[in-house]
């Protein structure tokens, strides 16, 4: 009788333990393998984890933004998998219906999604700093402090006047949490990749260094928005350089004055004392007056070979220019354009 009671008690304990084990197993399975992310949507979520972020900050953000449904289970799995002590900053794409184990593995791996940065139509260092950091963790002031650091930029063999030519306008993929220094290193690599042996050879043929090509390209770009006309304009300036004639490029005066609202350059503007005044000083200015795009750089490297020494805007306001080989012809072209400006009341 006593033995039967013991057997029944043992059986009850076995059954209870089995039920408990099954329940616990089911619970842990649910915790690890049941969907817990973006249960109410089919759209992915972009998570930005700042540098030095804590696990609590990450979990709170995910919960507050309704990315995870159960913060307790997410925290538990994160603890078991060692993620709470190994948060990796960066930008991560979280897919709908991810389980806790999938989400933690994804974040713990540091498998970031790259960010695209695009910059063009840049005039100043401030413009560049704002545009290039727009989608990154670093802010424009951090980047600007480097680009204006004369000691730092010399390691790339540039100075305060030429540093802008290191940045080739294009679209690049970088990590969201890249540092300002890493971004500089990346842009320098892109600069080196652009200046192939073939392009360097073309620059040497026209008597310019890569930095000087950038400077001339910036002027050409300012002179015309018509990409098909830029090689001809580049040819004019190269002819002037060969003859040691002042470039007399109006955009360099606008840059020197720092007033980009100027529509017509007047004689008074030509009196400004600046190394960028190409009416006063022959040769190229010290550096680019904007960030020349690849089309403008190629226009200089593949400049047209002709005899033109002058050009001015056409009176039809088409955006194209009339070219001349002598001053008399140029003055006639200029008078027609000035008359058109006056008739249109553009001052």
- Residue 122: per-residue pLDDT: 95
Strands (E), the chain: 45-49, 90-94, 115-118, 171-174, 310-313, 321-324
How many Å apart are CA 340 and CA 329, to the nearest integer? 17
- Residue 20: per-residue pLDDT: 42
User: Looking up tokens 């963790």, which residue turns up?
Assistant: 137
DSSP annotation of 15 reads H
pLDDT band for position 16 (50/70/90)? very low
Contacts of 201 (CB under 8 A, 6+ apart): none
- Residue 36: per-residue pLDDT: 85
How many Å separate Cα 119 from the centre of its chain? Answer: 5
Q: pTM (2 decimals)?
A: 0.87
The mean predicted confidence, pLDDT, of the chain is 91
Mean pLDDT of 231-257: 97
How many Å apart are CA 110 and CA 87, to the nearest integer? 9
- pLDDT surpasses 60 at 17: no
- How confident is the model over 1-11, as pLDDT tens digits? 556 555 555 44
Q: Cβ(111)–Cβ(103) under 8 Å?
A: no
Residue by residue, DSSP assigns 55-68 as: HHHHHHHHHHTT-B
pLDDT, greater one: 232 or 343 = 232
How many Å apart are CA 84 and CA 78, to the nearest integer? 6
Give CA torsion, residues 297, 302, 306, 308, to 10 deg. Answer: 0
Span between the terminal Cα atoms of the chain, in Å:
116
Token pair, residue 283, equals 């040769």
| Measured CA distances, 301 to 15, 126, 213 (Å) | 85, 28, 7
Mean pLDDT of 279-294: 97
pLDDT band for position 267 (50/70/90)? confident
pLDDT, greater one: 38 or 154 = 154
How many Å apart are CA 279 and CA 72, to the nearest integer? 71
How many Å apart are CA 222 and CA 38, to the nearest integer? 49
User: Looking up tokens 């990590």, which residue turns up?
Assistant: 175
How many Å apart are CA 59 and CA 89, to the nearest integer? 13
| Measured CA distances, 113 to 18, 46, 50, 99, 171 (Å) | 45, 9, 14, 19, 16
- Return the sign of the alpha-carbon dihedral for residues 275, 276, 278, 282: positive
- pLDDT surpasses 80 at 165: yes
How many Å apart are CA 49 and CA 277, to the nearest integer? 48
pLDDT, greater one: 21 or 81 = 81
- Residue 344: per-residue pLDDT: 82
Mean pLDDT of 242-267: 91
Mean pLDDT of 320-345: 93
Radius of gyration, CA atoms only, the chain: 32
- pLDDT surpasses 80 at 190: yes
- Residue 29: per-residue pLDDT: 55
- Residue 52: per-residue pLDDT: 93
SS3 call for 116: strand
């Amino acid at each position: 009788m006593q033995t039967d009671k013991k057997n029944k008690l043992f059986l009850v304990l076995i059954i209870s333990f089995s039920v408990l084990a099954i329940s616990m197993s089911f619970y842990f399975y649910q915790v690890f393998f049941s969907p817990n992310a973006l249960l109410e949507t089919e759209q992915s979520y972009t998570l930005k984890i700042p540098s030095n972020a804590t696990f609590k900050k990450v979990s709170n953000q995910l919960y507050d933004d309704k990315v995870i449904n159960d913060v307790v289970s997410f925290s538990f799995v994160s603890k078991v998998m060692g993620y709470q002590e190994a948060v990796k900053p960066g930008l991560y794409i979280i897919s709908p219906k991810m389980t806790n184990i999938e989400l933690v593995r994804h974040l713990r791996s540091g498998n970031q999604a790259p960010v695209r940065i695009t910059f063009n139509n840049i005039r100043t260092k401030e413009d560049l700093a704002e545009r290039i950091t727009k989608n990154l963790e670093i802010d424009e002031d951090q980047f600007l402090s480097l680009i204006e650091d004369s000691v730092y930029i010399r390691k790339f063999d540039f100075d305060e006047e030429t540093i802008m030519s290191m940045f080739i306008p294009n679209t690049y993929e970088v990590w969201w949490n890249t540092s300002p220094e890493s971004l500089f290193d990346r842009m320098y690599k892109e600069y080196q990749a652009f200046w192939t042996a073939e392009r360097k050879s073309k620059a040497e043929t026209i008597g310019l260094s890569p930095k000087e090509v950038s400077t001339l390209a910036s002027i050409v770009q300012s002179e015309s928005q018509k990409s098909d006309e830029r090689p001809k304009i580049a040819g004019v300036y190269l002819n002037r350089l060969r003859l040691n004639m002042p470039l007399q490029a109006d955009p360099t005066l606008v840059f020197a004055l720092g007033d980009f609202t100027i529509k017509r350059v007047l004689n008074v503007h030509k009196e400004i004392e600046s190394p960028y005044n190409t009416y006063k000083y022959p040769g190229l200015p010290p550096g680019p007056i904007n960030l020349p795009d690849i089309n403008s750089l190629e226009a200089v490297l593949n400049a047209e070979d002709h005899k033109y020494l002058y050009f001015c805007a056409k009176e039809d306001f088409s955006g194209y220019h009339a070219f001349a080989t002598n001053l008399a012809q140029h003055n006639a072209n200029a008078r027609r354009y000035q008359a058109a400006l006056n008739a249109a009341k553009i001052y």
